[in-house]
Amino acid sequence: MTIKQGNVYIADIPISRPHQLSMHTITKQTIVLVKLTEEDGLSGWGEVATIGGASYEEMTPEAIKVTIDHYLMPMILGKKAADYACIMNDIQKHVKGNRFAKAAVESALIDLFAKQKGLPAYELLGGKIHDSLPVAWTLASGDTKKDIEEAQEALQQRKHRIFKLKIGKGDPNENVRHVLEIKKALGDEVRVTVDVNQSWDEQTANQCIPKLQAGGIVMVEQPLPEWNEEGMRRLTASSALSVMADEGARSIHDVFRIAKHHVGDSLSLKIPKHGGPHETKKAAAIAESAGMPLYGGTMIESTLGTAIAAHVYATIPDMIFGTELFGPLLYQDMVSTNALIYENYELIIPERPGFGITIDEDKVLYYARDHETRQKGGNMI
């Protein structure tokens, strides 16, 4: 069976509370969904999410859709999902960059082929090592009391015992105070990390990181702008706590350069930013070869995108810093008919064929932009 039709949807889904980052405050989350349908009607789905339009990643949701519709889909239609590796190799040769778009279509191809074979997708990605993954919760209200209450509730419900705080916005000294107060309230049994999202300069980082370290914080993520690799290298050399590379570590070439020059001593993986499941596996292997601890990052995807990441991360031997696959817990609604299972502080890896998620197409159309025109179908051969 060959792939006869491809559809791409941009959907805006409300979330349960504002999620504050240094560059943007999320009140609804935008995802891009790709549906590939073969001749017998079986479909595979892929998803990527973006944050704040163009404020986090160079590729906007609109650009991702245009790239898939006009450049990637013609290289997919008429092909077999079983040839997904060959298809992606051709796409890599003929389409530069555009990693989010590539990640969406590769995930849809893998989902489709795994469903054909009746296998969970992790079987096509090297085999599962972990049955579940520890999940951090991001505290991003900016209100110390609210964040403490939110963390304590998560602990009581046995959902999370790793917490990340977004601290790139506002006065750095006040942000450090905010973090240390939360850490003190939660105690020594809870791991707390911080994410600056590139918002500090080197002087600010040198002032703040020792205070964070003294207060028991174990990791600071991307404190400096991605272009300031020399500064990141100096911070890595001088800091006892881990300095994690994220926005500066997109392509496998970025990851190699970061590992070689010690531009960070740990790495945040994200399926969209690396360009798909297999490129993410390559990035993880480079980091592993350099002795860099790994963290399973998120773009705050819905159930499908989170399941895609979970299947990939489940095949990686060591995720020292755990994962951040909390996305579905932040959404007010789902575009799937089944939910992911979180228990005992961990996310259970879905076992159904493909990525284990059944998409609710009515919900997709409900949240999709221009959903009336979407019902007319997508690219076809």
DSSP β-ladder status, 242-245 and 219-221: parallel
SS3 state at 162? strand
The domain of 288 spans: 124-348
| Residue 353 belongs to a domain | no
Q: Which residues pair with 192 in a beta bridge?
A: 163
Structure tokens at 346: 């961990």
Asked whether the predicted pLDDT for residue 353 surpasses 90, the reply is: yes
What's the CATH code of the domain at 237? 3.20.20.120
Do 131 and 37 share a structural domain? no
Amino acid 373: pLDDT: 44
The reply to whether 88 and 165 lie within a common domain is no
Find the DSSP H helices in 187-218. 202-214
Question: For residues 294 and 23, is the Cβ–Cβ distance under 8 A?
Answer: no
Would you say 335 and 13 are in contact if contact means Cβ atoms under 8 Å apart?
Answer: yes
Same-domain status, 283 and 311: yes
Whether residue 89 sits in one domain with residue 232: no
Task: Find the angle CA(63)-CA(65)-CA(67) to the nearest 5 degrees.
Answer: 65
113, 145: one domain = no
Is the model more confident about 15 or about 44?
Answer: 44
Residue-wise pLDDT tens digits, 57-110: 778 999 999 999 999 999 999 999 999 999 999 999 999 999 999 999 999 999
Q: Please count the structural domains in the chain.
A: 2
Please report which confidence band the pLDDT of residue 21 belongs to, taking 50, 70 and 90 as the band edges: low
| Residue 129 DSSP label | S
232, 343: one domain = yes
Asked if the structure places residue 273 within a domain, the reply is yes
Question: Distance of CA 126 to CAs 37, 291, 311, Å?
Answer: 25, 21, 10
User: Catalytic annotation on 166?
Assistant: yes
Confidence of residue 381 (pLDDT cuts 50, 70, 90): low
Count CA within 13 A, CB hemisphere, residue 51.
20
* Cα separation, 212 vs 184, whole angstroms: 12
pLDDT score of 24: 65
Give the pLDDT confidence score for residue 289 in this predicted structure: 96
Q: What is the pLDDT of residues 282-335, one digit of tens each?
A: 999 999 999 999 999 999 999 999 999 999 999 999 999 999 999 999 999 999
Torsion from C-alpha of 298, 322, 189, 179, nearest 10 degrees? -30
Using DSSP's 3-state secondary structure scheme, residue 190 falls into coil
Say what the pTM is: 0.93
Among the listed residues 166, 169, 270, 281, the single catalytic one is 166
Q: What is the CA radius of gyration of the chain?
A: 20
What does DSSP assign to residue 349?
P
